[in-house]
Amino acid sequence: MKEIDMTECEHLKSSILLMAVHLEKLAGEIDNDSIKEMLTEVLEARRIFVLGAGRSGLVGRAFAMRLMHLGLSSHVVGETTTPAVSNEDVIIAISGSGQTRSVADLGKVAKDIGAKVVAITSNKESKLGDLADVVVELPGRAKEDIGGYLERHMRGEYTYLTPLGTSFETSASVFLDAVIAELIYITGASEADLKSRHTNIE
Amino acid sequence: MKEIDMTECEHLKSSILLMAVHLEKLAGEIDNDSIKEMLTEVLEARRIFVLGAGRSGLVGRAFAMRLMHLGLSSHVVGETTTPAVSNEDVIIAISGSGQTRSVADLGKVAKDIGAKVVAITSNKESKLGDLADVVVELPGRAKEDIGGYLERHMRGEYTYLTPLGTSFETSASVFLDAVIAELIYITGASEADLKSRHTNIE
Amino acid sequence: MKEIDMTECEHLKSSILLMAVHLEKLAGEIDNDSIKEMLTEVLEARRIFVLGAGRSGLVGRAFAMRLMHLGLSSHVVGETTTPAVSNEDVIIAISGSGQTRSVADLGKVAKDIGAKVVAITSNKESKLGDLADVVVELPGRAKEDIGGYLERHMRGEYTYLTPLGTSFETSASVFLDAVIAELIYITGASEADLKSRHTNIE
Amino acid sequence: MKEIDMTECEHLKSSILLMAVHLEKLAGEIDNDSIKEMLTEVLEARRIFVLGAGRSGLVGRAFAMRLMHLGLSSHVVGETTTPAVSNEDVIIAISGSGQTRSVADLGKVAKDIGAKVVAITSNKESKLGDLADVVVELPGRAKEDIGGYLERHMRGEYTYLTPLGTSFETSASVFLDAVIAELIYITGASEADLKSRHTNIE
């Protein structure tokens, strides 16, 4: 590795452009109905819980942070002061394959409690897709992952290193930021409401 | 908020398309020289430390995770078992404004120890930009943030809710994934090397 | 290190017994007045924020978790959905030396916002001790640490490995669990109140 | 709750004294054989992984931090850059009941990989106890918890709020700090070795 030939960083540039094209495709394929259902659940829930493992978990946390900025009551499953889930809450569960075991298992628990489950996945036909009340399908990941996230992690199965995994994560991240933009628009319709929510959190 | 009119999710779609255009612009404006310097530091360092606050911190963690998958020794500043920094290490510090206090302060500490500092920022003329050995400037954020991240956070200054903040974070995220793609290409040149590194971590 | 002679684990047993004696001493030296002030702040605050670095931060998180179980609104500074601090909140800041920079700095920020600051420290004459509204002094740590926590960490200054550091952390941990026991007693005086708070979080 | 009568903080003091007595009992009941086996596994392992949920997870993280300070290669399962587990590694799994699902499940995965599993528990007759290579039994917790940690958490089953849960956590915390003291003694036997390990991490 002493002699590094980076050939004008062509792979780096291609990778960014590929993602730009991917996002354009994403905007075109958006299914309005499922998104409206998702927005309705988010706005009607008492609290919003975000659930995800690995890099999808980080994407979820970035979303939960913005929801809190908006004045909504949001929590990340697994963090220190995250309260118990109730039947008035909604869970946003993020998993490209829809098969990540810990995410599917906890989605099931939330469902049994009576909470609503919204799945963000690229695989509608999956454990998570099957149990969810609302499925928002994003393009990006074909391969199914077997077993739990930490399991695969422990086994060193880094097949999710492939561009396919990354492309779901970026889709999910940009999509969820776009959901925030839409929520700013919707809640902004009633300015007084927004203000009161802001005082609520300070 | 009872009557939600989502007008075909136009804001959501615009937000995604805006990001696609933004990434296309990013690919065009990439400065090869600073990226090559960054790649060289990453490949020559004994260990790679990632530093960032808030959503930039989450972007950094996603990058650190991929570096570990690649077989490189990576750590996130602030996590439980992150070791002491040495003069053989490189710090990847991520801050849109380049002024986030905790990031600039710890970047300075790393610098004093003799470690190399690579800044990922949209503001070259900043505390972080000034002290860094390598600055990779990404388009996206004009406004300067005053004071530390947790400070602003505590004060409830959510001005970083604006699309400008989000656009830096997405740029940084997609850029760092592209760095991974480039690293796969570069290190892949020596297949045996990659394999030995893989066995090393399993 | 091939031939391990553990001599009946004498150091291990001594270490546990030392801590038992240390806790007995702690119970005897407790200053009722400062604890009552702390309990009053906790019960009167709208929300309770916990602040600490390194192992003291972990102790703080364990406390914040129990406060949430009790039905109180608690947050850990630095976690994903932790909201902005207001002048109706209280900050529990934990630092053995009282000099950990990030903790003292953020304690100052909270103070400026108008929040109450309760310091848990073994060093009343310190940055944190000076700015706090209430100081609960716990025996355990004599040495002053210079600079911020992550700073020392980056420099590899593990002097806090000594029993003195550990003894403050255990004191703080057991003391804060005892605060929980007292809070269960106090709030339990009105059983209906406790129950309603429990329903409130489910 | 307007009129707070704290009677001289008697519950708080009792709680601390109770813990002191509990630790004295712990020191007396220590089983040297299992501890020696644990120390041997820790010293012979290539890397040490710490596994736990909730407050037991925080106790585990405090232990992992000290192992890193000692120069040993330690990781917390679930953190960003934690690598894949191998058959040369040891897993320290902490669960009072020994039944916490995520801990037992991941302990099983580690075992299947060929890693050694050390259980820190107060319930030898449990899922975790059954699969572990070494069981260190600590007094403290009688009740069995059903299902996974995040599951119970989601359901709002805070029965682990009882002193019994707390007493296991404190036992485990003080015990693991005592293991560190013993490790300092053992590894200190060869000073050169310790020094080289220290240089290794700086």
Of C83, C148, C156, the CB nearest to B84: C156
The residues near A202 (Cβ < 8 Å, ≥ 6 apart) are B156, C83, C84, C86
Residue A56: per-residue pLDDT: 94
Cβ atoms of D134 and D119 within 8 Å: the answer is: yes
Which of C80, C197, C201 to substitute to test the interface with A, most A CBs within 10 Å? C80
Cβ atoms of B187 and B70 within 8 Å: the answer is: yes
CA distance C131 to A52: 40
- Using a CB-CB distance cutoff of 8 angstroms, which residues of chain B are in contact with residue C155? 84-85, 109, 113
Q: What's the distance, CA D1 to chain centroid?
A: 37
pLDDT digits (tens, 9 = 90+) for C177-196: 999 888 888 876 333 333 33
Residue D46: per-residue pLDDT: 96
- Please enumerate residues of C whose Cβ is less than 8 A from a Cβ of B: 77-78, 82-86, 102, 105-106, 109-110, 113, 148, 150-151, 153-158
- Is the pLDDT assigned to residue A2 strictly greater than 90? no
Question: Average pLDDT in the A110-125 region?
Answer: 95
Cβ atoms of C48 and C63 within 8 Å: the answer is: no
Which of D59, D174, D179, D194 to substitute to test the interface with C, most C CBs within 10 Å? D174
Look-up of token digits 């808030």: B54
Q: What is the DSSP letter of B139?
A: S
CA distance B111 to chain A (A): 25
Q: Which CATH number is B12-195's, of 3.40.50.10860, 3.40.50.10490, 3.40.50.9100, 3.40.50.150? A: 3.40.50.10490
Closest by alpha carbon to C120, among C16, C41, C186, C15? C41
Put simply, the answer to whether A16 touches B27 (Cβ < 8 Å) is yes
The residues near D18 (Cβ < 8 Å, ≥ 6 apart) are D163, D167
Token pair for B128: 């972080």
CB atoms < 10 A from the CB of A184, how many?
18
Among the residues of A6-143, which ranges form H helices? 10-29, 32-44, 54-69, 101-113, 127-131
Residue B69: per-residue pLDDT: 85
Q: Where are the domains of chain D?
A: 12-195
CA distance A106 to chain D (A): 7
Query: Neighbouring chains of B at 3+ CB pairs within 8 Å?
Result: A, C, D
- Is the pLDDT assigned to residue A13 strictly greater than 90? no
- Using a CB-CB distance cutoff of 8 angstroms, which residues of chain D are in contact with residue B76? 79-81
Q: What is the DSSP letter of B158?
A: G
For residue C14, CA distances in Å to A155, C11, D60, D135, D181 come to 39, 5, 21, 21, 9
Name the region of D166 (left: φ>0; alpha: ψ -120 to 50; beta: rest): alpha
- Is the pLDDT assigned to residue A150 strictly greater than 80? no
pLDDT tens, per residue, chain D with 202 residues: 445 555 667 788 888 988 898 899 999 988 899 999 999 999 999 999 999 999 999 999 999 998 998 889 999 999 999 998 999 999 999 999 999 888 999 999 999 999 999 999 999 999 999 999 999 999 874 444 445 555 555 655 443 334 446 789 999 999 999 998 888 888 763 333 333 333 322 2
According to the 3-state scheme, what is the secondary structure of C129-198?
HHHCCEEEECCCCCCCCCCCHHHHHHHCCHHHHCHHHHHHHHHHHHHHHHHHHHHHHHHHCCHHHHHHHH
Residue D51: per-residue pLDDT: 96
Which of C150, C157, C161 to substitute to test the interface with B, most B CBs within 10 Å? C150
CA distance B196 to B200: 6
Cβ atoms of A73 and A47 within 8 Å: the answer is: yes
Put simply, the answer to whether B80 touches D64 (Cβ < 8 Å) is yes
Q: Which residues of C does the annotation mark as catalytic?
A: 169
According to the 3-state scheme, what is the secondary structure of chain D?
CCCCCCHHHHHHHHHHHHHHHHHHHHHHHCCHHHHHHHHHHHHHCCCEEEEECHHHHHHHHHHHHHHHHCCCCEEECCCCCCCCCCCCCEEEEECCCCCCHHHHHHHHHHHHHCCEEEEEECCCCCHHHHHCCEEEECCCCCCCCCCCHHHHHHHCCHHHHCHHHHHHHHHHHHHHHHHHHHHHHHHHCCHHHHHHHHHHHC
Residue B131: per-residue pLDDT: 97
Rg (chain B; Cα; Å): 18
Rg (chain C; Cα; Å): 18
Q: Give the pLDDT means over successive 10-residue stretches in chain C (202 positions).
A: 59 86 90 93 96 95 92 94 93 94 92 96 95 92 49 50 68 93 72 35 26
Put simply, the answer to whether C154 touches B105 (Cβ < 8 Å) is no
Question: Average pLDDT in the A44-64 region?
Answer: 96
CA distance B107 to B134: 12
CA distance C53 to C60: 9
- Using a CB-CB distance cutoff of 8 angstroms, which residues of chain A are in contact with residue D148? 105, 109
Token pair for B184: 């796969």
- Using a CB-CB distance cutoff of 8 angstroms, which residues of chain A are in contact with residue C65? 80-81
CA distance C76 to C64: 7
Total-model pTM = 0.86
For residue A44, CA distances in Å to A40, A41, A65, A72, A88 come to 6, 5, 18, 11, 9
Cβ atoms of A23 and A56 within 8 Å: the answer is: no
pLDDT digits (tens, 9 = 90+) for B83-116: 989 999 999 999 999 998 889 999 999 999 999 9
For residue A3, CA distances in Å to B32, B42, B89, D153 come to 17, 14, 20, 53
CA distance D147 to B99: 46
Look-up of token digits 């690293």: B183
- Using a CB-CB distance cutoff of 8 angstroms, which residues of chain B are in contact with residue A62? 55, 58, 169
Residue C150: per-residue pLDDT: 58
Type of residue numbered D181? A
Question: Given pLDDT bands bounded at 50, 70 and 90, which one contains residue B119?
Answer: very high
Of C21, C27, C163, the CB nearest to D13: C27
ipTM field: 0.84
Q: Which tops the pLDDT comparison, B5 or B38?
A: B38
Closest by alpha carbon to C180, among C83, C81, C8, C60? C60
E runs forming strands in B38-192: 48-52, 74-76, 90-94, 116-121, 134-137
Q: Which tops the pLDDT comparison, C147 or A118?
A: A118
Put simply, the answer to whether A61 touches C68 (Cβ < 8 Å) is no
CA distance A101 to A20: 31
Token pair for D61: 């993280």
Cβ atoms of B140 and B22 within 8 Å: the answer is: yes
- Using a CB-CB distance cutoff of 8 angstroms, which residues of chain D are in contact with residue C185? 11
Which range, of A83-87, A193-197, C26-30, C70-74, averages the lowest pLDDT? A193-197
Type of residue numbered C107? G
pLDDT digits (tens, 9 = 90+) for B137-191: 998 744 444 455 555 555 555 433 344 467 899 999 999 999 988 888 887 633 3
Residue D164: per-residue pLDDT: 47
Cβ atoms of D120 and D149 within 8 Å: the answer is: no
The residues near A95 (Cβ < 8 Å, ≥ 6 apart) are A52, A53, A56, A103, A104, A119, A120, A121, A126, A128
CA distance D29 to C74: 37
For residue C137, CA distances in Å to A125, C24, C41 come to 58, 15, 16
Compute the 3-state secondary structure of chain A and give helix, strand, coil in percent, each to the nearest 5.
60, 10, 30
**Which class for A5: exposed (0-12), middle (13-18), buried (19 or more C-beta within 10 A)?**
exposed
Of C105, C109, C153, the CB nearest to B84: C153
Cβ pairs A/B, distance under 8 A: 173
Cβ atoms of B103 and B96 within 8 Å: the answer is: no
What SS3 state is found at C87?
coil
CA distance B38 to B136: 8
Type of residue numbered B130? D
Q: What's the distance, CA D3 to chain centroid?
A: 40
Token pair for C164: 């003195």
Q: What's the distance, CA D124 to chain centroid?
A: 14
- Is the pLDDT assigned to residue B49 strictly greater than 50? yes
- Is the pLDDT assigned to residue A41 strictly greater than 50? yes
Average pLDDT, chain B: 81
For residue B80, CA distances in Å to A78, C9, C79, D72, D190 come to 16, 27, 14, 14, 27
CA distance D184 to A151: 33
Report the residue of chain C nearest B89, measured CA to CA: C154
The residues near C196 (Cβ < 8 Å, ≥ 6 apart) are none
Closest by alpha carbon to D95, among D48, D144, D35? D144
- Taking the CA atoms of C69, C75, C77 and C81 in sequence, report the sign of the dihedral they define: positive
Q: What is the DSSP letter of C78?
A: T
Type of residue numbered D176? L
Report the residue of chain A nearest D78, measured CA to CA: A150
